[in-house]
Amino acid sequence: MTVSPITWYHATADISERNRLNGDLRCDVCVIGGGLTGVSTALNCAERGLNVVLLESETIGFGASGRNGGQVVQGFAVDIAVIEQYVGKESARIFFQMAREAVDDLKERTARHAPEADLRFGYLHLTLNNQQFKTMQSFCAALHAWGYTGPRMITRSEVRDWLGSDRYFGAMIDPESGQIHSLRYLLGLARGAEEAGAVLFEHSAARKVKGTIVQTDAGVVTAKHIVYCCNAYLGKLESKLYSKIMPIASFISVTEQLSASLVAAIFPQDVAVADCNIALDYFRLTHDRRLLFGSGASYSAITPPGLVHTMKRKIVRIFPEMGDITIDYQWGGLIGITINRIPDIGRLSNNTFYAHGFSGHGIALTGFAGKIIAEAITSSDSRLKLFETVRHRPFPGGWLRTPALMAGMSWAKIRDWLSI
Ligand SMILES: Cc1cc2nc3c(=O)[nH]c(=O)nc-3n(C[C@H](O)[C@H](O)[C@H](O)COP(=O)(O)OP(=O)(O)OC[C@H]3O[C@@H](n4cnc5c(N)ncnc54)[C@H](O)[C@@H]3O)c2cc1C
């Protein structure tokens, strides 16, 4: 079989088309971008009685939200200790609680809007060597000290009870992280937003924004508030925002359906998995018994040559018995990272908001970003203000920023390999 031109997510979701904006509209909030951040913002604003228009340049879920690994992971892309350096101990405690709230919200939203999204809990943070294991042990102890006592460490011999691979040195089990069909989840939120009164347009790219007036090819939206939710797909629409995130491509392969005996051998427990290399491997079993395997980081939107072969090699390194496996689906998507890997959520002016830069850790946090932006517009901006206290510097180097990061990431890969 040849590799499918669409993602496994799109092939297994119930997708309905939405209108293109044609004409002029007025509203309270114009959301730009139809991924998890934009749709959550639209849903939360509409539920609070605001009149909302959302503009998506392609289709809902075209960006990272319909292309990701589906891993619902507690916390942020960086340890809370890093956030503490920016905001101090007391506020870091609130950040920690907010990240926990983000996963609780995702659970509640999934039950309400997208029960078909196959949300499952159980997660392994894998280590590949002694040094990574020790770092993970300290991280686990820190989580306990912050009051989250669910995670625990397991050694190499115990890993086999959870995952059918001899590759790993040990792991941290996190019972409250897990996995989800992120496109079904997103489409459920989109339906929820529409039921609450929001109007979502597809194939309606925001071409120009002046104040709170947004122009598309065939219409104009005049809003009281604008919310930018374009993440790594923002392009040149808002240069100040774009300078603060770096788009990085990551690639995902989904295998043919696996036999029940192979599933039992490689996933003795139903867990989602990631190793802790900087350019990490992350994988999980889908509801239709396929291995969904993500890996790598690239600074070009172009699919690397020989990707099917490379991904198969990586899978076989973990599960040698999968040498004959066929890849049915393969795609790439853009992750928006910030310099410090903390999400950048805030305001450009009193009535212009944004959220981006979840740094590969956005499935739960995007929903939370939408909630605190809606809170800031309708009632209290105290939680948004906390995010605004984190200073986000633009990536240095203008057009050179990508090669500079490439050099940095190559060094990171060498460090993973050398375990230093
Ligand atoms: C390959 C990959 C794997 C990942 N794996 C995980 C994972 O396992 N766990 C996890 O937590 N996170 C993961 N992430 C990150 C996660 O998917 C993102 O953090 C999250 O989806 C970001 O959502 P978003 O709505 O901010 O951005 P996006 O989903 O990228 O949405 C932005 C949208 O804005 C639209 N847009 C852009 N410009 C315009 C415009 N001018 N007008 C209108 N619309 C516009 C785009 O078309 C796009 O649909 C992964 C990301 C990728 C790419």
Nearest to 359 by CA among 245, 253, 252: 245
Which residues line ligand 1 at a C-beta cut-off of 6 Å? 32-38, 55-58, 62-65, 67-71, 73, 205-206, 229-234, 237, 250, 252, 282, 294, 333-335, 356, 358, 360-363, 366
Q: Which pLDDT score, from 0 to 100, does residue 305 have?
A: 79
The pLDDT tens digits of the residues spanning 82-104 come to 999 999 999 999 999 999 999 99
For the cut 50, the answer to whether the pLDDT of residue 414 exceeds it is no
Pocket test for ligand 1, best of 68, 179, 275 (most atoms within 8 A of CB): 68
Q: Which pLDDT score, from 0 to 100, does residue 381 have?
A: 98
Within 8 A by CB and 6+ apart from 242, the residues are 234, 235, 236
Pocket test for ligand 1, best of 363, 365, 371, 373 (most atoms within 8 A of CB): 363
Q: 172 by DSSP, 3-state: which?
A: strand
Sorting pLDDT into bands at 50, 70 and 90, what band is 199?
very high
Shortest-distance atom of ligand 1 to CA 369: 26
Query: 24: how many CB neighbours lie within 10 A of its CB?
Result: 12
Residues constituting the chain: 420
For the cut 70, the answer to whether the pLDDT of residue 412 exceeds it is no
- How many A from CA of 37 to the centre of ligand 1? 8
Give the distance between the most distant pair of CA atoms in the chain: 64
Separation of alpha carbons 143 and 177, rounded Å: 13
For the cut 80, the answer to whether the pLDDT of residue 247 exceeds it is yes
Phi, psi of 327 (to 5 degrees): -95, 120
Of all protein residues, the one whose alpha carbon is nearest to atom 13 of ligand 1 is: 360
Both tokens of residue 390?
Answer: 């984190």
Lowest-confidence region among 145-149, 159-163, 187-191, 409-413: 409-413
- How many A from CA of 189 to the centre of ligand 1? 15
- How many A from CA of 420 to the centre of ligand 1? 32
Separation of alpha carbons 78 and 287, rounded Å: 29
The mean pLDDT value for 378-402 works out to: 86
Q: Is the four-CA dihedral 54, 60, 63, 68 of positive or negative sign?
A: positive
Of all protein residues, the one whose alpha carbon is nearest to atom 21 of ligand 1 is: 65
- How many A from CA of 243 to the centre of ligand 1? 17
The domain limits of the chain are 8-403
The mean pLDDT value for 7-18 works out to: 97
Q: 222 by DSSP, 3-state: which?
A: strand
| Nearest-10 Cα torsion for 368, 373, 378, 380 | 80
Of all protein residues, the one whose alpha carbon is nearest to atom 41 of ligand 1 is: 206
Q: How far is CA 355 from CA 117, 211, 325, in A?
A: 24, 18, 39
Pocket test for ligand 1, best of 8, 39, 231 (most atoms within 8 A of CB): 231
Pocket test for ligand 1, best of 233, 236, 292, 344 (most atoms within 8 A of CB): 233
Pocket test for ligand 1, best of 40, 57, 242, 359 (most atoms within 8 A of CB): 57
Within 8 A by CB and 6+ apart from 194, the residues are 200
Please give the share of the chain, as a percent, with pLDDT higher than 90: 89
The pLDDT tens digits of the residues spanning 133-173 come to 999 999 999 999 999 999 999 999 999 999 999 999 999 99
- How many A from CA of 363 to the centre of ligand 1? 9
- How many A from CA of 35 to the centre of ligand 1? 6
Element (H, E) at 25: strand 23-32
The CATH number of the domain covering residues in 8-403: 3.50.50.60
Q: Which pLDDT score, from 0 to 100, does residue 419 have?
A: 40
Q: How far is CA 80 from CA 63, 75, 100, 205, 323, in A?
A: 27, 8, 12, 36, 39
Question: What value does the CA radius of gyration of the chain take, rounded to a whole number of Å?
Answer: 21
Shortest-distance atom of ligand 1 to CA 59: 49
The pLDDT tens digits of the residues spanning 112-121 come to 999 999 999 9
Q: Which pLDDT score, from 0 to 100, does residue 1 have?
A: 54
- How many A from CA of 333 to the centre of ligand 1? 8
The mean pLDDT value for 331-341 works out to: 95
Q: Which pLDDT score, from 0 to 100, does residue 415 have?
A: 45
Q: Cβ(31)–Cβ(189) under 8 Å?
A: no
Q: Which pLDDT score, from 0 to 100, does residue 292 have?
A: 98
Backbone dihedral region of 380: left (phi > 0), alpha (psi from -120 to 50 degrees) or beta?
beta
Q: What is the DSSP string of 229-287?
A: --GGG-TTS-HHHHTT-EEEEEEEEEESPPPHHHHHHH-SS--EEEE-SSS-EEEEE-T
Burial class (CB in 10 A: 0-12, 13-18, 19+), 119: buried
- How many A from CA of 153 to the centre of ligand 1? 31
Separation of alpha carbons 169 and 187, rounded Å: 38
Within 8 A by CB and 6+ apart from 411, the residues are none
Both tokens of residue 122?
Answer: 């159980």
